[in-house]
Structure 1
Amino acid sequence: MKSTLDKELTVQFLKEISVKKAIATILVVSLAAFLFLIYLLYFSDSAGASESWVRQLPALNAFLNSVSTVLILSGYVAIRKRKYKVHMRFMLTAFITSSLFLISYLVYHHYAGDTPFPGQGWIRPVYFTILISHIILSAFVVPLVLTSYYFAFSGKFKTHRKVSKWTFPIWLYVSITGVVIFFLLNAYV
């Protein structure tokens, strides 16, 4: 049974890619995405659009992060119950919602630029502690998630489990704190 399931969940061409080549590709793609994000946030001028759809994107982003959080937790519960296909579906859907979040986030910051935090007093260091930890860990999420997927779909489930022990809490934290940041920003606007 498990052998048949392993074959069903494995993507043949990924089995043929060496771990070294896969990790190198994942790191290059992740670094390129991260550098593009840094460029967009800190070095490019915003397009300056003020259409209502642009102003709605942060709420959409918080919604997508919330959905990702629920899906990640559901995937965790499924794998604990040894429901491998259900786990896979939840995690793939979490990947899709997180990818949609990233696209929406990039579009928003292309048009709106950065969003300064207007809060004062004790909430300011709380906000920046959450924000800084969120930013640092979000830089690791993309390569960790892609690496977890590579090992899962190449049939290297033992290594997938080892990587996912790091991926799960970091991805979950980044998804949750993304929503927290949205609500903290909106509480002071």
Structure 2
Amino acid sequence: MADSYSLPESTKFLEQISAKKALSVIIGLSVGAAAFLFWLIYFKEGAEAPVAWIGNLSAVNAGLNTLSTIFLILAFREIRHRNFRKHMQFNLAAFVTSALFLVSYVVYHHYVGDTKFMGEGFIRYIYFFILITHVVLSVAVVPLILSSFYFSLSGKFQTHKKVSRFTFPIWLYVSVTGVLVFFMLKYFG
């Protein structure tokens, strides 16, 4: 794998950082981000929205999750064809759209706070199953994504491959279920 793909010069410094140190930073950042989001959604009251378009950010978030899903599927296709450059480009695009989603998500929940699901009956159980698995796996996928990128960009391709076998399906599930949660909240909200 390393023979047919050379690392960009801008990532060469990552080869010097030990996996233990990198993973410590990744886990620290991931725990901090998860704690912040938990506080933001469940403990902070929504602020008064200064502009009307804040309410539209949930649709933007669904669109960004959809784009992430598409980029992840394209990245998977490219790695199957051993096109490492395209694989990396699509993964970077998925990462960027996921990062933009996170920024938009934080802004939305800063103003809106927690969104209540109003559906009743069996759909309520389905919604909460999807939501709970989405939330739990979204917390777990952040360090997996960052670790996959670290191992790839530092040239540790065998470890990257092992970690990415878990990262890809979880990231894909989180992206798809994020869109499902949006539509269920819109329809039953």
TM-score range, shorter chain: over 0.9
Q: Which residue of 1 aligns with 2:72?
A: 72
Q: Which residue of 1 aligns with 2:83?
A: 83
Q: How does 1:172-183 map onto structure 2 within 5 Å? A: 172-183=172-183
Q: How does 1:84-103 map onto structure 2 within 5 Å? A: 84-103=84-103
Give the drift of 1:11.
Answer: 1.7
What are the ranges of 5 or more consecutive residues in structure 1 without an aligned counterpart?
A: none
SS of the equivalent of 2:35 reads helix
Residues 1:50 and 1:188: Cα distance change in structure 2 (over 3 Å):
farther
Q: Which residue of 2 aligns with 1:105?
A: 105
Q: Which residue of 1 aligns with 2:33?
A: 33
Identical aligned pairs, as a percentage?
51
Q: Which residue of 1 aligns with 2:146?
A: 146
C-alpha distance in 2, partners of 1:2/1:135? 35
Contact between 1:57 and 1:104, CA under 8 Å: does it hold in 2?
Answer: yes
RMSD: 1.5
Give the drift of 1:10.
Answer: 7.8
What are the ranges of 5 or more consecutive residues in structure 2 without an aligned counterpart?
A: none
Instruction: Normalising by structure 1, report the TM-score.
Output: 0.96
Contact between 2:134 and 2:177, CA under 8 Å: does it hold in 1?
Answer: yes
**Matching residue's letter, 2:102:** L
Please list the CA deviations of residues 33-63 of structure 1 after superposition, one character each: whole Å capped at 9, or x if unmatched.
Answer: 1111011112222112173211100000000
Contact between 2:141 and 2:170, CA under 8 Å: does it hold in 1?
Answer: yes
Contact between 1:10 and 1:152, CA under 8 Å: does it hold in 2?
Answer: no
**Matching residue's letter, 2:36:** F
Residues 1:106 and 1:98: Cα distance change in structure 2 (over 3 Å):
same
Residues 1:50 and 1:184: Cα distance change in structure 2 (over 3 Å):
farther
Contact between 2:7 and 2:153, CA under 8 Å: does it hold in 1?
Answer: no
Contact between 1:11 and 1:154, CA under 8 Å: does it hold in 2?
Answer: yes
SS of the equivalent of 1:32 reads helix
**Matching residue's letter, 1:74:** L
C-alpha distance in 2, partners of 1:81/1:89? 14
Contact between 2:2 and 2:155, CA under 8 Å: does it hold in 1?
Answer: no
SS of the equivalent of 1:6 reads coil
Runs of at least 4 residues off by over 3 Å: 7-10
SS of the equivalent of 2:82 reads coil
C-alpha distance in 2, partners of 1:5/1:184? 42
C-alpha distance in 2, partners of 1:14/1:184? 42
Give the drift of 1:7.
Answer: 3.8
Q: How does 1:9-48 map onto structure 2 within 5 Å? A: 11-48=11-48
